[in-house]
Amino acid sequence: MCEHDTIMRHLPIHSHHLSLQIRQSCVFKHCLILLAICLHISGCASAKINQFSRFAELGCGYSEAVSGLTREAGNVAIDADSAALMKAREPLTPEERGETIIKHDKLLSERVTQLRDLRRHTQLLRSYFQALAALAKSDAPSGIGAASEDVVKSLGKMSDRIKNAKVGDLPVSEFIGPLVKITVAQFQSAALGKELRVRAPIIERELDLQQAALQAIAEQMRTDLEVLQAREEALDVVDPFRATKDSLPSDWTKRRKELLNTQISLDSVDAGVELARNFKLSFVSLVENRLDLSDVEMMFGDINEVLTLIEDIQGTKPKKKK
Beta carbon of residue 5, minimum distance to other proteins (angstroms, whole number): 43
The residue (of 143 and 301) whose beta carbon lies closer to other proteins is 143
In angstroms, the CA 15 to CA 163 distance is 30
**Coil, strand or helix at 308:** helix
Q: Please, which residue, 121 or 166, has the CB nearer to other proteins? A: 121
Q: Which is nearer to other proteins, 206 or 312 (CB)?
A: 206
Question: What is the smallest separation between the CB atom of 91 and other proteins, expressed in angstroms?
Answer: 4
CA distance linking residue 53 with residue 47, whole number of Å: 10
Give the integer Cα–Cα distance in Å for 141 and 148: 10
In contact, 310 and 271? CB cutoff 8 Å: no
CB atoms within 10 A of CB 254: 10
N-term to C-term CA, the chain: 94
Give the nearer residue to other proteins in terms of CB position, either 28 or 252: 252
Least CB distance to other proteins at residue 104 (A) = 7
Q: Which is nearer to other proteins, 173 or 282 (CB)?
A: 173
Q: Least distance to other proteins from the beta carbon of 277, Å?
A: 15
Distance CA 282, CA 272 (A): 15
- Smallest CA-to-CA distance from 159 within 148, 174, 172, 147 is with 172
- Identify whether the C-beta of residue 312 lies closer than 8 Å to the C-beta of residue 264: yes
**Phi/psi of residue 225, each to 5°?**
-65, -40
Determine the Cα–Cα distance for residues 274 and 278; give it in Å rounded to an integer. 6
Q: Which is nearer to other proteins, 23 or 89 (CB)?
A: 89
Q: Which amino acid is at 86?
A: M
Nearest distance from residue 3's CB to other proteins, in Å? 39
Report the nearest approach of other proteins to the CB of residue 271 (Å): 19
